[in-house]
Structures are given as C-alpha cells and as structure tokens.
Structure 1
Amino acid sequence: MNKALLTGGVSAVAVMGGWAATSAGAEETGSADATASASPSGPPPGGGFGRTIAYDDFVGVTADGTVLGDLYAVHSTGVSTVPVVRAAQAFVASLTDEQKAATLFDVDSDQWLDWTNVDSNDRDGVALRDLTEKQYALGTRLLRAALSARGLRQANDIRKLNQFLGEYEGDTSKALNEDAYWFTVMGTPSATGAWGFQFEGHHLVINYFVLGDQVVMTPTFMGSEPTKVTYEGKDYHLFREETLAGLELLRSLDDAQLARALSANEKSGTDLIAGAGQDNAVIPYAGVKGSSLNRRQRRLLLDLAGVYVGYQDEGHARVRLREIERHLDDTYFHWIGEHGDDSAFYYRVHSPVVLIEYDAESPLGYHESDGGTSASPSASEPASASASASAGPGGPGGPQGTPTQQHIHTIIRTPNGNDYGVDLLKLHRETDH
C-alpha cells in the first residue's frame, strides 16, 4: 500500500492542504530563486505525504538530480553489531507464524520505502499493542540495542506524547497511543549478511539497515505535538537539544554569513521537504557553506549534526560523524525564520552525505489556549480534526495558527543513494559475486 498518500487524522489533513517545498539557491545564498522538487508525480513535499516509489526506482536525495558516486564503501567499522543482531533474532523467533507472515520481508523489499509519519492506523508488520508481554519486551530490547540511551529516551517520549495527544483529542483506540507503532524486518538478522528493520508510527519512523558491522539509520523521522507539556506528573520537553544547537550555530554567524544562511525572516507554514514519500527529492544546496566558517562555527555545525546522529548507538554514531566531518567544507546551513529562544523556525544541514531538517510547524491537534499545557489532557476540549497547512514557504499558517515550537518535525537522511543502506547493499552484491 502507499501509506505516504493515506490520510491519517489531523496531521494528514494539514499536510495535504499545504505546499511544503522550501525555496533554495544552488550555492551560498539566502535567496529564493530556486525551488526544491519532490519525487515525480507526488503531492507537495512535507512531513507526511509524497508518492512512495519502488525499491528498484530509488535514487536518493540529490542536490541536482545527479547522484554523486564513490561516497560509500563496504568496510569494517570495528564497531560490533552483535547486540542488535541477537536482539533482532530473538524478537523474530518469538513471533507466531501469522505474525511472521505480516512482518518479514526481503532485504530489498519496497516495504522499506512505504512509511509515513502521520497518524495512520493502516500499516504493515506487527504493532506493539498486539504483542505478548514477552514479545513486547523483546521488541523493546531491539530498540535498546539499536539506539543510544538518548535516542531511546526520545523515541519513548515521542510515543508517550502520542498517548497524551490521543487522550487530549478523546480517542486513543487507533493511532494516537503509545503502542500504535509497528515493526517490520527486512532480510534475515545476521552478523555477516544484509538485513534491517523498520519501526514506524505517528511522529516516529526509524529505518535501520545492517551489513556486517556497518549501520545506516536513515531515514529517521522524529516529531511531536506537543513538545513541552506536563503529563502524568512528568515534565516533557522534546527537541530541546535540536532547538538549542541550531540557535547556537545561527547566533555565531557574522552579518555576511547570516545573510547567506537566512532566506526569510518569518517562518510560516510547513517547510520540511524530505519527508515520507520524498526519497528521490531534488534539494539544491542553500545557505552558508562550511568552508566559509571559522573553527568554532565548524565545531558548532558538527555538533549540530551530532545531535541527530547521536540517536543511534554510540559506536556507530561516532563512525557516522566522522563521515560527515570529512565533507564539512561542502556542508551547507540554511535557515528560515527568527532566532529567539521561543521562535518558530526551520533549518537544514545539507552535504553530499547528510541531510537534516528541523521544522517548527502550525498547531494541528494541540492548542495551548485550550489550557492543557500543564494539566491532564482530559481537562481540555478535544481539538478539531481538520486543519489546513500553509500555502508554502513564507505563506500563511492555517486556521489552526502560526508555527510554534509545540509542533516540531525533524528528519535525517543519507543523500546520494544510501538511505535504507541501498548503496551499501548494491556494493555488497557486486563484490559478493
């Protein structure tokens, strides 16, 4: 099924109504002369909609439609994948035959690309809510092995606030609860072969590819609405590090650098480009280039990338960050919006080997004016289930209001063909025969 085109409640209705492509120049510029393009024949790009393509048609995100070669190689990282392999093997072994039939796919299956971050209840695989207590524990163990402590905490907090949103809206029976997240497994978990898994639900999608001791954990989509709330006696503040790291880098720029980084002073609508169904998006480089930054600014740029790379286990995060650092001169930092502590803004980090987007969006299901910020969700009136997103970059916010840090979408990708480990698998098959 093409889940990227499914409607899925408030998030879906909003994104369907808006044009999300961000204006971008081809070199160091803050102008809006060129526009990023999405996958062919799909709806406008954004956080949750596009046209799912077949695995064989995958090209990857590029800057101009041309894939840069010789960026990736099959090699030993020296970081063991044994913990995640064993966790995956145990999880798969615990499934019933019926569950396996719904959950297991070939390593080069179209299933990799068929994901969505919207609150759809129509997904493949096996959901957490349908697992036995033992299976649930083994699924949790798989996530723990794949993610860092911070990555696991963030994933769990996203799920918890999805439960909050369901209670706030008055319906936790479908996609808005903490266990409406699905596992699929591609290939056979092995310490030497190629395999991977996908963990998918509202505001949280993790694609995790393994080849020997190499790992590719992209695309990974993380978001939340709300991001800051007190729920069941606990204070949540999601995406704090992502917000602060972006602001610190932007505020370090001098006037000339800021002019290149900034394309619009006001953020409104939806600007995230490389969301679900945008696997072949063409996104021109825009913003200030890494080669024009001083030493401190370059460190801040690398630290910002490290916040997102740091979702995965620490050893493979270090490997990934070294890869990004090798291309730091050719890494661009692009910004839309103001830069106050509480401002809504969009930023993008983009190089031949990494694409990161952060987008503060209009409120859809949650509204602070309802009085639910520090109370139980039942104290608030259910939010409207229909909304419209902006008409595009710089366009008006929908009737639900202007963008806010209470609704954030983020994504990290590996451009030029290695999302889902596609390029690594291709190289592996070429050298293995």
Structure 2
Amino acid sequence: MVSDSVPDAVNRAREQAAAAMASAATAWLSSLDNDQSSLAAWASPRDPAAETERLRWFYTPTDHGGLAIRDQSAHQQGLAMQLVASGLSTEGFATVAMVMGLENILDQLEGWRSSLGRQRGRDPGLYWLRLFGSPGDRVWAWRFGGHHISLNNVIIAGRVIATTPCFIGADPARTELLGGSLRPLQGVEDAAHELVRTLRTDQFQRALLHPSVVSDIVSGNRPQVCHGDTMIHMQNLWRKPFADPALDELVNDIDRQAEAGSGYTEADHARVAITVPPNGINARNLDEEQRRLLRRLLGRYTGRAPREIAAIHDANLDSVLDEVHFAWAGSTGEGEPHYYRVQGPGILVEYHQSQRNGNHAHSVWRDLRSDFGLNELASPH
C-alpha cells in the first residue's frame, strides 16, 4: 500500500525504479506518431474500459494488445526496449531478450510452417507494448507481452507498486549451441531440482501434489488467483477464437493430446488446484539447508525485478518464510516432465515443463494479494 508508514528506504527504492520507468516511457511515447500512439497509449487504470483491458494478459502467441515491436522504426524499437529493461534486472532483461529470440528457433523446429492466422506464426517482432495513463499521472501502468512473455508494472504516486504477474516461458527450454547449450529458465529449474533432491521420503510425500504432471501452470492467465482455481485449458488462453476452423481445431487437438498425456481427470485437476492455505510442505518442516535452497529458488523469481524492487521483495520473503509452502507434481528426474509451486503470503510461483517432450517450460511469479496493484488501487489513500 502507498503509505507514509512505509520505511523511507523502501519508498526511495520504489521512487527510483519509477523514475527510470517514467523517463524511458516518456522518450518512447514522444517518438510515436498519432496512429502508433492510439495503439500504445491508453487511458489510466482509473478508466473502467482501460482497466478491463489492462487486466487481460496472455502468454500464448496471441495479440497481447498495444504497439508491436515490428510496427516501430529501429529507433522506436530501441526506446521500447529501454522501457522494458527499466522494469527488469540486468539478468531479467537478458532472459526476456533470449526468449524473444527463441521464436526464430521455434519457427525452424516447426519447419517454418506455423501460421497461427498471421503472416508469420513465430515472429520475434510480435511483442506488444502498451501504457495505461501517462508518466506524471498519479496512477499509470505499462505492459509488455508476446509469446512466453508478460510483464506488468504499476506506478502510484511516483512509486513502483506492483511488478506482477510476471511470466517468462521458453520453447525450446534447452537449445544446443556450438560448444554448449542455451537454457533461459535454467536458474528456476535447477534450483527447484536441487531442493527436491534434498527432501527425505516423508518430506517429499508432504510436498507431492500428484505423481503425474499437470499439462500447464495452474493459475493460467487469470487477473486474480483464488482458492480452488484449476488449470485453464489452452482454448481459453487466447484473446479471441480463431477465425479459421482448422486453427481452432489445432488448438483443441493440442489440448486433447496434452490432457491424454497427463492422464488427468477433473478429480486430478482438483487435486492440484490452488488452495488457501497452500498445499505442499511448509518451510517450517525443512532443515536449515533446505530453507536456504527454498529461499534461493524464490530469489530467482524476485530477481527478475529491478534491483531495488527485488531487494524489497527479498526482505519481505525473509519475514514470511515460515508461511511458505513448496509443492511438486510429476517426475523428479532431470529433464523429465514436472511441475512445482511455491506459495506463501504475497507470493505464488509456478513452474511447468512437460510439453514438447519436456523441452517447453512455463514459469510465473504472482502476488495473490496484489497482482496488477489491485489491492493498492482499491485503497482510499
């Protein structure tokens, strides 16, 4: 909440991050012509129609809403990416940039045949940037998204208030290079495997949600996550239905195959549903080394944010770690299909890897109390 009771150091950190975002956003907006501005600049979150659009977010290769990178000049693209970078740590920005570039590799893997109803189905230029309100407004926000990326930031009274939902995926999750490999989500995958390998049999049984992996993250692209939420099927993760019946059937078929592969029934989906309080093993039931590994795993998610914002999240995690739960579904073998969830006060992270024979990963960082800054926006202050 934006409040004078917040420590001065925290307010200064939020203000510093907001100033960097405002500077980058102003420069980008100033470079746009009228037609581009109509796509890029929308009304403040205080406007009901704009707010409805702001809360719609995606991680599929659908229209995310805004001005696409490919529809900007080279100069404008550079300014757009400066705004994106202002909302991320150096490491976070590098990860996002790599994920965007993976669209070229994915296009090749699919034989250059994917269309998705557009000129090029896998297009690294189809990432959209949109502002809601303007820098200098008391309340403004910005969103950047495309296939496997969704970044959402809210600024109130000159302070960054929310940086979630923050989604980063990777397809392929592992790409062989000359003399090595590229794994954009290596940090959040390996840190979880390191933790789960330390669990004793009784601890793992507490952590286990299901012996088989669910076919996607469970929270999906909901604006808010609530108790009892179950996985959203692929057909419902797009901005609108496909006009081409063949594409519509393709998405249905992919979902059917994924469900058949998981073997899940409605009862299975209910078993891995989001719950409040959380399922899984409580950090209180972990030893000190396991708690350190859990804390490091969470830091790989909060570390996506700008350094000064990540430090705020990290300090909060230290104070609530005893309420955090770690949960797992699927195999614990390296490179095999699996899903995990870490949930506690103010944080939910999910990681899923089963599609494309275990070489397609989704990860998301959320705040059950205030995704999109909704808690603070509802405050009378």
Normalised by the size of structure 2, how large is the TM-score? 0.77
Q: Select 1:407's aligned residue among 327, 342, 360.
A: 360
Structure 2 residue ranges without an equivalent (≥5): 46-50, 228-273
In the aligned structure 1, how far is the partner of 2:332 from the partner of 2:206?
Answer: 15
Q: Is the counterpart of residue 213 in structure 1 residue 155 in structure 2?
A: no
For the 8 Å contact 1:175–1:202, the answer to whether it is kept is no
Superposed counterparts of 1:11-410, under 5 Å: 72=1, 74=3, 75=6, 76=8, 77=10, 78-79=12-13, 80-81=16-17, 82-108=19-45, 109-120=51-62, 122-169=63-110, 170-171=112-113, 173-190=119-136, 193-211=138-156, 212-230=158-176, 235-267=181-213, 269-277=214-222, 279-282=224-227, 283-284=274-275, 285-363=278-356, 403-404=357-358, 406-410=359-363
Query: Which digits, 9 at most, give the CA deviation of each residue in 1:382-411, with x for residues without a partner?
Result: xxxxxxxxxxxxxxxxxxxxx51x111111
2: CA distance, partners of 1:231 / 1:329: 41
Residues 189-219 of structure 1 show CA distances to partners (whole Å, capped at 9, x for unaligned) of 13x7322210110111111112323341110
| Alpha-carbon spacing, 1:217–1:175, altered in 2? closer, same or farther (3 Å) | farther
Match of 1:10 in 2: none
SS at the partner of 2:326?
strand
Counterparts of 2:2 and 2:319 in 1: how far apart (Å)?
A: 14
Secondary structure of the residue aligned to 1:152 is helix
Partners of 1:98 and 1:233 lie apart in 2 by 46
Aligned with 2:378: secondary structure? helix
Give the distance between the partners of 2:76 and 2:27, measured in 1 at CA: 9
Q: Which moves more between the two structures, 154-163 or 338-347?
A: 338-347
Deviation at 1:234, TM superposition (A): 8.1
Distance 1:273 1:132 in 2: 38
Instruction: Say whether the 8 Å CA contact 2:59–2:150 is kept in structure 1.
Output: yes
- Partners in 2 of 1:344 and 1:144 — Cα distance? 31
Give the C-alpha shift of residue 272 in structure 1.
Answer: 1.2
Look up the SS of the partner of 2:151 in the other structure. strand
Relative to structure 1, the CA distance from residue 123 to residue 255 in structure 2 (aligned partners, 3 Å threshold; closer, same or farther) is closer
User: In the aligned structure 2, how far is the partner of 1:248 from the partner of 1:222?
Assistant: 21
Q: Which has the higher helix share?
A: 2
Letter in 1 for 2:308: G
Kindly provide the CA deviation profile for residues 239-277 of structure 1, in whole angstroms up to 9, marking residues without a partner as x: 11111110111122222221100133333x414111213
Name the CA shift for 1:98/1:234 in 2 (closer, same or farther; >3 Å): farther
Matched, 1:422 2:374: yes
Q: CA deviation at 1:188?
A: 1.2
CA-based RMSD of the aligned residues comes to 2.0
CA contact (8 A) 1:361 1:409 kept: no
Matches of 1:224 and 1:319, distance apart in 2: 27
CA distance in 2, matches of 1:231, 1:105: 41
Q: Which consecutive residues of structure 1, in runs of 5 or more, have no partner in the other structure?
A: 1-71, 364-402
For residue 161 of structure 1, report the CA deviation from its aligned partner.
0.7
- What is the Cα deviation at residue 303 of structure 1? 1.0
> How many Å apart are 1:233 and its aligned residue?
9.2
Query: Partner amino acid for 1:158?
Result: V
C-alpha distance 96-175 of structure 1, shift in aligned 2 (>3 A): farther
Residues 303-336 of structure 1 show CA distances to partners (whole Å, capped at 9, x for unaligned) of 1111011111111101111122222111110001
Answer whether contact 2:195 2:294 (CA < 8 A) is retained.
yes
Is the 1:208–1:217 Cα contact (8 Å) retained in structure 2?
A: yes
Q: 1:83 aligns to what SS in structure 2?
A: helix
**Hey, what's the Cα distance between the residues in 2 that align with 1:234 and 1:194?**
45
> Equivalents in 2 of 1:299, 1:329: separation in Å?
12
**Deviation digits for residues 105-139 of structure 1 (CA, Å, limit 9, x no counterpart):** 2332212221211112x342100000011111100
Report the Cα distance in structure 1 between the residues aligned to 2:78 and 2:126, rounded to whole angstroms: 15
| Matched residue type, 1:254 | R
Give CA-to-partner distance per residue, 1:317-359, whole Å, 9 cap, x none: 0111112222211111000122122222100000120000000
Supply the distance in 2 between the matched residues of 1:198 and 1:263 (Cα, whole angstroms).
Answer: 33
Q: Quick check: 1:275–1:411 contact (8 Å CA) kept in 2?
A: no
Aligned residues: 314
Partner of 2:258: none
**2: distance between equivalents of 1:159 and 1:339?**
28
Q: Contact (CA 8 Å) 1:331, 1:350: kept in 2 or not?
A: yes
8 A contact 1:349–1:355 mirrored in 2: yes
Q: Distance in 2 between matches of 1:93 and 1:175?
A: 30
CA distance in 1, matches of 2:153, 2:378: 16
Q: 1:280 to 1:135 in 2, by over 3 A?
A: same
Query: CA-to-partner distance for each residue in 1:282-309, whole Å, 9 max, x for gaps?
Result: 2211100122222222221111111011
Change in 2 beyond 3 A, CA 1:232/1:216: farther
Q: In the alignment, residue 299 of structure 2 is paired with which amino acid?
A: G
Distance 1:166 1:271, change over 3 A: closer
Residue number in structure 2 paired with 1:400: none
Structure 1 Cα separation of the partners of residues 142 and 202 of structure 2: 44
Secondary structure of 1:327's match?
Answer: helix
